[in-house]
Amino acid sequence: MLNKIAVIGGGNIGGVVVQEVASRKLARSVALVDVKEPEFAKGKCLDIAEGTPVIGADINVEGSKEYDVIEGADIVINTAGVPRTTRPDGTLPTREELLATNLKITDFVSAGIAKYAPDAIVISIANPLDAIVYRLHMNLKKDRSKLLGMAGVLDSARYRLFIAQEAGVSVENVEAMVLGGHGDDMLPIRSACRIAGMPVEKFVSPEKLEAIENRTRKAGGEVVKLLGSGSAFVSPAWSALEMAEAIIYDKRKIVPVCTLLKGEYGVDGLFIGVPAILGKNGVEQIIEMDLTDEEKELFKKSVASVKKTADEVVAMTK
């Protein structure tokens, strides 16, 4: 059992993360920081703490609007950000406006992590994922094993669900990877998609697969539209916890991780979603997959989008 997990941002995703850390008993203590008034994080944690006797979890759940609550955490899960929702006047913030706001929040978050949990392994969920992880990297200058973005686990889970539904089989039978950036040109890797070890094409037609892959790329937006306000939160929280559990239990599990590439896949200095082994040290090894020529081209396109985002983040720093 880990000593302490900290969660930054206690909204929809952060709330589920804290609740799941408690119910899965992943650490002796879970801390939540959220700047929302009057004492939002404290209230959220009191609610969860008061339920721990019922679920039999001897875990300390503490919330605060001050960052010192995260002191000494072994793992930090970052969910702080403003989701893309309609303003009261009916307009939507532009992508740039949203990015500028979220980068400011990320600078604040980085300062808190640097001060109170400098050695923690950081798993970041906040969107725009590629931009936020890049900014955390610029600010925290962590070893690459210790800064991870969560996108691929969720994107792959969505792909797996849609394939399982189409094939009429258990989600447990479907193995799949979605790589690249966390944008519209993310890359579901059809050549690595297996149903009980068999190629997916044995069960699903190429036309259906194409439709599923398109749906996967836009799956986040589909949920946003249906909800009316806010974005997906249970599946992102569970996905980040899959990564956290791989680290906590030193599973050496291969999952898609948004990680800093240093020459792998011909990319240097960008955070891209690729398969990696997660264990007690965080990212322990990056796996270079064999891609088809078509997939290689699409991967390059996705990398180009991530590079554009990273350049924007750097430009917004000046």
Residues taking part in catalysis: 182
- Positive or negative: CA dihedral 185, 189, 289, 131: positive
Task: Please state, in angstroms and rounded to a whole number, the distance separating the CA atoms of residues 163 and 266.
Answer: 30
Sign for the CA dihedral angle at 42, 238, 220, 135 comes to: positive
Peptide bond between residue 53 and the one before it cis (omega within 30 degrees of 0) = no
The helices-and-strands tally (H runs, E runs) of the chain is 9, 14
Tell me which of 19, 64, 79, 309 binds ligand APR, using CB under 6 A: 79
For the CA atoms of the chain, what is the radius of gyration? 19
Residues 81-100 that bind ligand APR (CB under 6 A): 81, 83
Choose which of 3, 66, 100, 108 interacts with ligand APR (CB under 6 A).
Answer: 108
State which residue, 101 or 205, has the beta carbon closest to ligand APR: 101
x/- letters, 233..272, toward ligand APR (CB under 6 A): x--x------------------------------------
Sheet bearing 2-8, strands edge to edge: 60-64, 27-33, 2-8, 75-78, 121-124, 147-149, 253-262, 268-279, 282-286
**Residue 36 interacts with ligand APR (CB under 6 A): yes or no:** yes
- The span of 10-18, 19-27, 221-229, 276-284 binding ligand APR (CB under 6 A) equals 10-18
Residues 199-238 that bind ligand APR (CB under 6 A): 230-231, 233, 236
Rounded distance between C-alpha atoms, residue 174 and residue 83, angstroms: 30
Binding mask 173-192 for ligand APR (x = CB under 6 A): --------------------
Q: Which is nearer to ligand APR, 75 or 109 (CB)?
A: 109
Is 34 an interacting residue with respect to ligand APR (CB under 6 A)? yes
In the list 2, 6, 7, 9, the residue contacting ligand APR (rule: CB under 6 A) is: 9
CA dist 111 and 134 (Å) reads 15
Range in contact with ligand APR (rule: CB under 6 A) among 121-129, 139-147, 198-206, 302-310: 121-129
**191 CB-near residues (< 8 Å, 6+ apart):** 290, 291, 292, 295
Return residues touching ligand APR (CB under 6 A): 8-14, 33-36, 79-81, 83, 105, 108-109, 125-127, 230-231, 233, 236
